[in-house]
């Protein structure tokens, strides 16, 4: 290749479902890959792709370089009725024998892709990771609660999903990704931010359901191809994506019906951790005191009213900005101060929030109330709660409090 090293390279990790007939998930992943491949070609961006199948211990891997021509079968092979047979006759794709939720397989993809791109194109100024597949909040990725294959377990007896610590391990190739973009539900969380602190510089993710509609990759890739300052890139990316998602028909949840809210934001990882650590510790301290003290009612109400709304959101999550506002509105001087500190942390952490006035840019897990029908719920005994308790967010004390929320016998309801 000529013209110097590319300003950006994209590593795409896509999880579909292997069946003889196309499924909704596979259809949307295929459409996304076609758009991604065409945009990368147009703007001269190297693109490494790994497609895994939830119900197979195999996947497929390819590397598309700026000087490689687009062929009709480039993006079709992983989604044909029998992709592994086709792969044997298609030099573009190689079979990967591993689970999609194997952190080692993800790390091998990350390391190999970065090495191949550097050897053949020069070292890019910026590395961007893009993930597309089911998200399950602080539990991790690629586990589908209502999928009939969800009961399939790992050898250790737990459900087959990529935990947040494995995500962090898998995307780390000895140096952090400049930007990680997650097209997955419920993953713009403090839990995710803390877990990625040594692996990612900036994170773009969604606080709620992410929608399946294919993204405007020609516009988004034009932003990435410019390289330069990662914060400016992240800001422009989320701004463009937010405008796209405002349009009716661009928030398809898989059944042809738009999801009401698809709130994406971008977060600076290191500044976020530095900004949130002190106020989170103070909040946890107040929660511990409130369980036996006079501030119980005010603090409990502030937390409960911060939950994502049951009518169109995830009641197992609280919005940090809403919590800050609720604390500031309290008649308790200590809680007011906490709210001010959380708001300052939020402003330091969130690069841009194009969601709406109901979401502030980052959420956190808070055990859902009985009867609230949450999607994100550690009460499912197939999940090991200890994995949550040992996430890096534990340094603030939040996980232990999130699992034992402030409750009241006379008022056990969710906001609607």
Of residues 409 and 275, the one with the higher pLDDT is 275
Work out the average pLDDT over 218-233. Answer: 92
Pick the CATH number of 9-268 from 2.60.40, 3.30.1360, 3.40.50, 1.25.40: 3.40.50
| pLDDT tier at 408, thresholds 50, 70, 90 | low
Task: Quote the pLDDT of residue 6.
Answer: 87
φ/ψ of 283, rounded to 5, equals -65, -45
Question: By C-alpha distance, which of 139, 152, 135, 121 is closest to 55?
Answer: 152
Task: Quote the pLDDT of residue 274.
Answer: 97
| pLDDT tier at 154, thresholds 50, 70, 90 | low
d(CA 143, CA 162): 8
Contacts of residues 225-228 at CB distance under 8 Å and 24 or more positions apart, as own/partner, are 225/6, 225/7, 225/8, 225/43, 225/44, 225/45, 226/7, 226/8, 227/6, 227/7, 227/8, 227/124, 227/125, 227/126, 228/7, 228/125, 228/126
Q: Which of 25-29, 309-313, 400-404 has the highest mean pLDDT?
A: 400-404
Task: Quote the pLDDT of residue 89.
Answer: 64
Does the model's pTM come out above 0.85?
yes
pLDDT of 131 higher than 70: yes
d(CA 261, CA 357): 11
* Contact predicate 65/46, CB 8 Å: yes
Work out the average pLDDT over 265-288. Answer: 96
d(CA 318, CA 398): 12
Question: By C-alpha distance, which of 289, 315, 290, 310 is closest to 300?
Answer: 290
Determine what percent of the chain is predicted with pLDDT higher than 70: 82
Task: Quote the pLDDT of residue 413.
Answer: 41
d(CA 294, CA 292): 7
* Per-domain residue ranges of the chain: 9-268, 271-402
**43-52, 67-76, 267-276: which range is least confident on average?**
67-76
pLDDT of 341 higher than 80: yes
Report the run of H or E that residue 392 belongs to, with start and end.
none
Mean pLDDT score of the chain: 84
């Amino acid at each position: 290749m000529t013209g110097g090293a590319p300003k950006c390279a994209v590593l795409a990790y896509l999880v579909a479902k292997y069946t003889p007939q196309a499924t909704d998930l596979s259809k949307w992943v295929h459409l996304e890959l076609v758009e991604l491949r065409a945009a990368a070609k147009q703007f001269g961006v190297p693109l490494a792709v790994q497609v895994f199948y939830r119900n197979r211990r195999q996947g497929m891997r390819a590397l598309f370089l700026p000087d490689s021509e687009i062929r009709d079968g480039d993006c079709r092979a992983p989604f044909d009725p029998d992709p592994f047979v086709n792969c044997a006759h298609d030099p573009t794709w190689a079979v990967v024998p591993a689970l999609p939720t194997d952190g080692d397989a993800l790390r091998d993809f990350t390391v190999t892709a970065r090495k191949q791109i550097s050897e053949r194109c020069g070292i890019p100024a910026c590395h961007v990771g893009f993930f597309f597949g089911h998200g399950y909040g602080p539990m991790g990725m690629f586990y589908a609660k209502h999928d009939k294959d969800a009961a399939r377990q790992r050898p250790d007896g737990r459900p087959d999903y990529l935990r947040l610590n494995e995500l962090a391990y898998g995307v780390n190739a000895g140096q952090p990704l400049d930007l990680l973009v997650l097209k997955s539900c419920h993953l713009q969380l403090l839990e995710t931010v803390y877990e990625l602190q040594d692996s990612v510089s900036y994170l773009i993710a969604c606080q709620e359901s992410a929608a399946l509609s294919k993204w405007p990759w020609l516009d988004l890739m034009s932003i990435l191809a410019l390289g330069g300052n990662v914060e400016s890139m992240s800001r422009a990316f989320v701004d463009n994506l937010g405008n796209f998602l405002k349009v009716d028909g661009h928030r398809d949840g898989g059944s042809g019906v738009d999801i009401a809210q698809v709130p994406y934001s971008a977060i600076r990882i290191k500044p976020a951790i530095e900004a949130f650590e002190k106020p989170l510790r103070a909040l946890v301290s107040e929660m511990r005191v409130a369980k036996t003290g006079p501030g119980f009612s005010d603090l409990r109400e502030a937390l409960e009213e911060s939950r994502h709304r049951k009518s169109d959101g995830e009641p197992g999550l609280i919005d940090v900005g809403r919590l800050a506002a609720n604390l500031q509105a309290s008649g308790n001087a200590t809680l007011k101060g906490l709210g001010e500190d959380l708001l300052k942390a939020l402003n330091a952490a969130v690069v841009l929030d194009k969601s709406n006035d109901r979401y502030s840019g980052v959420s956190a897990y808070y055990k859902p109330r009985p009867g609230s029908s949450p999607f994100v719920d550690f009460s499912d005994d197939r999940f090991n709660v200890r994995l949550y308790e040992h996430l890096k967010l534990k340094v603030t004390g939040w996980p232990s409090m999130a699992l034992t929320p402030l409750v009241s016998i006379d008022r056990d309801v969710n906001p609607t």
